[in-house]
Structure formats: structure tokens, C-alpha cells
Amino acid sequence: MKLFIVESPAKIKTISKFLGKEFRIEASIGHVREIPKKGLGIDIHNNYTPEFQLIEGKQANTKKILSLMKSCEEVYFAQDLDREGELIAWHLFDEAKLDPKKAKRVVFNSITKAAVLKAIDDPRDLDQSLIDAGMSRTILDRLIGYKLSPLIWKMFESDVPLSIGRVQTVALKVLVLRDREIENFTKEEFWNIKADFEEGFTAEIVLPPKTKLLKEEKDQYLEKLKDPKAFVKNIVAKVDKRRPRAPFTTSTLQQEANSKLKMSVKETMKVAQELYEGVRVRGENKSLITYMRTDAVNLSAEATTKIREYILNEFGERYLPKKEIQYKGKTKNAQEAHEAIRPTYFDSPPELVKPYLKPEQYKLYKLIWNKAIACQMSPAESDATIVDIDINSVPFKVKGSILRFDGFLKAYDDRDIENSSKKKKNPDVNLPPLEENQSLIVKKFNPEKKFTKPPPRFTESSLVKYLEKFGIGRPSTYGSLIETLIKRNYAVLNKMKFETTEVGRKVYDWVEANFTSVVDIEFTAKVEDSLDDVAKGTSAWKDTVDNFYYPLRERILALQGFVEEDLKAEDKVCPDCGSEIIVRSGKFGQFLGCSKYPDCKYIKKKKGAVSRAVTTGIFCESCNGEFLLRKSVHGKYFGCSNYPKCKTTRNQLTHDELATFKEHLAKLKNGSKNV
């Protein structure tokens, strides 16, 4: 008997009809092992060796598979063709202590008979580089979550547990900074001047790039435009060609499904997974799309041929370019081991399978189908005319455009929502016949008052686009990332736009102040680069973890006076009652205290701890008490020494006070090494 292991039970129905009776198919139902939730679960002093246990709730299924692995003559690991799939296969292999000679790794981009049988005929070994990349990502995320999240648990009031994440908190930073940019935005008035002509069109004044027309300048222009004498200065006529964009990657599918179908990133990935694993069509399970986690924009030669045949039959020769169109990816950290997202079969158009699909499955399948067809179609063509007009030596311009050939637009309009709405507000106009040096008659001038607008709030679509642009995280994880931001109450979606909450801002501010590298976009992108190097086999995974963790370790040590992995046996015994010393959380972070609290209130003092307040030599204007330089979870500030009777605080000093403070500090330093 040969064992064929997939991730999802839904794939069993689709794949079983391809394999012979010598195969038994089982599903791992995703991951099978995890690091225990209690404790760090990683031996930092032993090359970050993780501790694993079988995932609760899946143990019966996993043990059945492990038993079959030992009894079968060959084991085919057919998990998804990404790092996560490789890691799941390795977990099964490692837990079963399987003979490497029996292990065969098979990968396929589409669930078709040809693809599956070809993979079985050409298996490979488990890829240790991909396993290392997946493992180091798991270890990094565990270190961040376990080490940093408890530091904020009691600092901020919240109805839900708070957390800090390697990618999650960077995404939070992006949202917080955008919200603050909007709040601090001051709108400015500016003007535009339009000229209506007797000839039946309107032109706009031309200003230097990035120039705003102020009210005074507008009045000056209108004065200059009195008794207008207008003529056509120049005419440029050309054919505009709009070429189709590449077929879907994971990221672009998430973006366009969100903007066009109003589907969340999480829902998009869920429905795409269903379409990939197989849907019941005319009595049999049929996979309708290729693998939906991909950065690739290329298509197989077979798929391109099928698409071109479909275009010729459905739309005609004019819609088919002479040569197939090739696309080159621009995504940072792209993993292009397989195809772009496309339909699996080109004899199953959306309308034909619609009766068998749920509404959301049909909408997403149709989006993917139309995009894949359009990417190989001819460009759309428009006759474009740009007319430069001189009115009393003031330049005006008008652009006219007429769509002459719809090309790929017949299958799919790939303009994003922002561009589409802009097009509606400023439509191109049909121009009358015009000649250079032709005189024109101005009917009237129309001054328009406008105001600058703040940057827009992020939607799920624009956040995904931003994160991918800067190489933050992986598109396959964006759905769970967004879900976490909302679940932690760091942000809410209001009319499909993100708004950060007070607790979300406080958490970001605290991380920014205490662990800057965790929310540094460039640093986070470098970590992703390092993980990709590990996956390629050009970098050691331990170096990647070291480079990220050790700066955090030093900061944790400075902040709380200890790191858990360095505690000695004597540090873990309470000197007052002999009970176990444990790590506890308070409003100022973590500390070591007796496990018998409140019966025993022993707290281990931080090594090298210094006073949380420094005298300043500056005195309070309210009560004449001396100001102290204090430190809170929100940063440093000056507070009156007579607090709580006097609650006067300051965030800044005057020039003279600053000189006094520096002189006072110099005196203090002579007597204390801790200042």
C-alpha cells in the first residue's frame, strides 16, 4: 500500500479519482504539531531547539496517519507547494521517525490528473532549506509573541488579550501613522479656472507642476483674462494604447476582490481555497483554479495556448495578439516557483458552472476567469487629442478621447476603483474639429474653489498593496494579520476603511518607544529577505534568528532586569517562603515574584535598578516643589515632587531651564554612576 497525504479532506474527493487502488489518501487537516502554549517552548541556548506536541483536537487523526506511515511501503507527501506545506510534511516525517528512503515529496500547481500523475512520477526529497525557512519564521514569531506580548498585558485597559507580533505590529504602525497624518492635516484653499468656448467645449488653466493657484493669484489671472483673445496654439493627436495587466497573484487577487467584490482578504482566501480544492460539478469533484498562494505572474505554455484558443473562438481574430504576452513580476521577495492564479480548465466558463457554485464562489471564479482571459488579449485603443490654447498669453489645455477599440476591456476592466472614480469625475470630452492658430470665442470663465484633501484611510485592499510593496510579511498571511488587528481591538473597519483605536495607538507608541526595530519597516523587510535567503539555501537560519532576537534580548534585559532563559536555579526559589519564583506581569511590565502571591508578596528586585525619577534643579510654578524627570509607560516627562497634592507636569523646558537642568545633571553625575 502507498500512502498519499494531503492537507485538506476536500482534496481527497478530487484526487481519489486520479489514483489507482494501490494508493490510500489521507488528510493531515493542516498542521499536526505545535509549540506548547505554556512556556516559551524554545531552548534558546541550544540552537533555538523547539519543543513540539501534537495539536489538540487532531491527535486521533494524526496518530492514524503516523501509524499508516510506518506500515506503508511508500509515503507521498502532497502538502501545498509552499514553505508551510513543506513544514507540515517535515513534521509528519519527523514525528513518525520515517525511513528517508520511503519518503517522497510531490508538488503540483493544479489538481488535475495530468499534474498529479506527473508529480508522482517525478518526486523529490523534502527540501531542508524550505523547512529551515518555515521553522525560523515559526521561532521568530514565537519569540516576539511570547517575550513581548506579556509586557503590555496589564499596561493598557482592554476587554480582549493584547499582543505584539513581528508583522502585525508593523501593520498597526502603518495604520496609526496614516490616522495621525489625517488628524494633523490642515486643508488649504486653492483655485482652478476653466474657460467655456462658443465652439462647445471647456479647457482648464495650465499651471507649473505641483503649483496651487491661491485666491490672490486667481484674481490676478482673471484680471489678465479680461477682453479675452483666444487661439489654438498646438494640437497633438495620437492613438493611446492600454495594455492588460498581469494575471492574479495572491496579493492582487486580494486587492481586486476587496475593491470590486467587497470581499475581505480572509473571505477571498477561504473561497479561493474551496475553488482550488474542488467543487462538486455535475456529480464529480472538480478543482476550478490553480494554487492560490503565489507571487508569480507567468502562465504555463499549455494555459497560454488554451487562453489564446478561447479568445479566437469567443472574440475573434482582432482581439488576439500575434504573439503571447509575457509578464515580469515586480513583487519584492517574490516566490515564483509556480504559475499565476488561473482557471484549471478552459472548458468550464463561469456561466457553465454557475448552477453548482455558491454566490461568493461564482463571483470570485468569474473574476479569476475574466482576468486570465484578458491578460492575453489585444490592447484597448483610444483616439486622444490634446489641444493647447492661448488666452491673452495664459495657457489653457483640453484633452479629448474616444474609445475606438475595446480590446481586453471586453473581458475585464482592470482599472482600480480610485482611477475609475476619477475617470467619472473628469471624463474625456468629444472635441469639435480644430486647427492650429484657429481663433476661439470665450463665453465665460468659471473660477472653482477647491481644498486640498488628506491622504485616504487604508482599506484592506490598499493595506495589502502597501505591505507587499515594502516586503512586509507574506500575502498568504495578510488575512490572519488583518483579523488579528480587529480581534485585538487595535483597529476597526468603518465603511471598509480602517480606523485605529486608542488602545491600538497606545500599544504602537509603547513598542515604538521600547522596541523600535520591531516596528521598523526597513528592518522587518530585511528579516523577510533573510528568510527568503534561508529558503534558497544561501543563508543559515540560526543567523537570521540571532540577528533579530539578540537586539531584542538586550532591550528586554535593560527594561525588566532579566531574561527568562538566563535564570539560574537559585533565581527560581523564593527566599521568603521557598516557593517557586515565576514571571508575573504588572502595569510596568514583567517582573519576578513569588508564585504564592498574595500570601507571599516577595518580588525580586531588578539588578542595577535605578530610581525612576531624577531631580532637576527646576521648581514648580504652582507650589514651588522641585520638578523631577520621571519615566512612565508613555515616555519621559517633568512632574512636580509634591505629587499627588500637586499634579503639575511639563513636557518641555525653556531655554534657560534647560541650561539649569544640564548644570544640575553635571553635578549629579559626579556623585552617582547611575545618572
Give whole-number Cα distances, 547 to 167, 532, 550, in Å: 16, 15, 6
> Given phi > 0 = left and psi -120 to 50 = alpha, else beta, which region is 439?
beta
Options 48, 76, 276, 291, the catalytic residue: 291
Q: Which three cell numbers stand for residue 401?
A: 478621447
Edge-to-edge strands, sheet with 635-640: 613-619, 626-632, 635-640, 649-650
Give whole-number Cα distances, 480 to 81, 86, 488, 489, 535, in Å: 20, 20, 12, 14, 22
CA dist., res. 452 & res. 429, Å (int): 25
Which pairs from 519-526 meet CB under 8 Å and 24+ separation?
519/169, 519/170, 519/172, 519/173, 520/170, 521/170, 521/173, 521/174, 521/470, 521/472, 524/166, 524/167, 524/170, 524/472, 524/473, 525/332, 525/333, 525/470, 525/471, 525/472
**Parallel, antiparallel, or unpaired: how do β-strands 284-286 and 103-105 relate?**
unpaired
Q: Which amino acid is at 492?
A: V
CA dist., res. 545 & res. 637, Å (int): 35
Give whole-number Cα distances, 624 to 171, 185, 617, 621, 642, in Å: 45, 39, 11, 6, 9
CA dist., res. 469 & res. 330, Å (int): 9
Q: Which amino acid is at 138?
A: T
Q: Measure CA 136 to chain center.
A: 20
CA dist., res. 329 & res. 542, Å (int): 30
- Please name the helix (run of DSSP H) or strand (run of DSSP E) that holds residue 209, with its range, or none: none
Give the SS3 label for residue 429.
strand
Q: Is 365 marked active-site?
A: no
CA dist., res. 11 & res. 68, Å (int): 19
Q: What is the DSSP letter of 246?
A: P
Q: What is the DSSP letter of 603?
A: B
Q: Measure CA 184 to chain center.
A: 25
Residue pair 327/297 in contact (Cβ under 8 Å)? The answer is yes
Which residue numbers are catalytic?
291
